[in-house]
Structures are given as C-alpha cells and as structure tokens.
Amino acid sequence: MNTIADELTSHRFFAGLDAAHLEVLTGCARNVVIAKGASIIREGAHADAFWAVRSGRIALGVTAPGRGMLTIDTLHADDVLGWAWLFPPYRWHFDADALDEVHAVTFDAVCLRGKCAADPALGFDLAQRVAAILGDRLNAARMRLLDLYGSPQPG
C-alpha cells in the first residue's frame, strides 16, 4: 500500500521536493475521498486546507443565484486545489465541487503555515510552487481573454 509520502512524491506539484521537507509535510496530510457532487470549498469561507488531487475532476467556479455553479476551471489528477490558505486573509475566492469521486491528499493549513514559519526553506519552496501554479493560471486566463478560437479570416 502506498504511503502518503509515496503519493506526494509521484504528484506533479511535489516533484523534486527535498525528502526532509516531504517528511515534514506528511505530518499535516491525510488521504481523503470526496463523493461525486460534493461541495469542497465555498467562496468567502475560511481557507483552512489545500488538496493535491490524485484522481477525479473538480469544478472551480462561482455560484450565481438561480443559475447554479458557473465553472471557470477544471482541476484533474496532478493539480492542486487552493492557494488562499497561504496568504492572508485566508478566504476562498471560488467554489469547488467534485465532478467525479475525487481521491486526494489534503493538508491542514494551520499546520502547514506553522511548519513553513518554523522552516523558512520549506516555506520558500512551497511558496515558489504555489507561485508557479498562480503563474500558469494567470497565463491561462490571459489566453482566454485573447479569445483564441474566435477570429478566423473574413471571407
């Protein structure tokens, strides 16, 4: 059976993480199974965790009254859900629902922030990884602003 450390080692977000840091992180982690259709986070709620997705899909979006959730992004295996746990005021910006049964490793944010404060090298490493994700999402959002599929040659 795979340990949490094994699962994290094979997850893209943690690729190349120092073994000692991995050991520290597993102290804040546990495996979870999220039922299909379940709400995982809600906009405005306290950001007290983050998830390394192992399998299944998660819809990230905003809920509009009477219209249900409008999905703005879909997360898959090897993605992570949640970065607001790292920056004050620690509030979620979006809703997230499980589109399938989701298997993930979840981390307690208070525990993680404590470890990061105690070990600045770990904190810097994690912050860099989260920043890389934010960069990817910003680039993806900018591409969507370009309306990539929208302007064929007139004729």
Residues that bind other proteins (CB under 8 A): 12, 57, 59, 61, 67-68, 70-74, 76-78, 99, 136, 140, 143-144, 146-155
Supply 20's token pair. Answer: 């000692």
In the bound state with other proteins, the residue whose beta carbon lies nearer, of 110 and 140, is 140
Residue 111 in 3-state DSSP? helix
Length of the chain: 155
From the CB of 72, what's the least distance to other proteins, in Å? 6
Q: How far is the CB of 17 from other proteins (least distance, A)?
A: 18
- Measured from the CB of residue 57, what is the shortest distance to other proteins in angstroms? 7
Of 66 and 89, the one with the shorter C-beta distance to other proteins is 66
Q: Which is nearer to other proteins, 22 or 77 (CB)?
A: 77
Nearer to other proteins, 24 or 99 (CB): 99
The most distant pair of C-alpha atoms in the chain lies apart, rounded to whole Å, by: 63
**Core vs surface per residue 85-114: b (16+ CB within 10 A) or e:** bbeeeeebebbbbbbeebebbbbbbebbbe
Q: Is 16 helix (H, G, I), strand (E, B) or coil?
A: coil
* Nearest distance from C-beta of residue 120 to other proteins, angstroms: 30
| Beta sheet of 95-98, edge-to-edge order | 39-41, 95-98, 58-64, 68-75
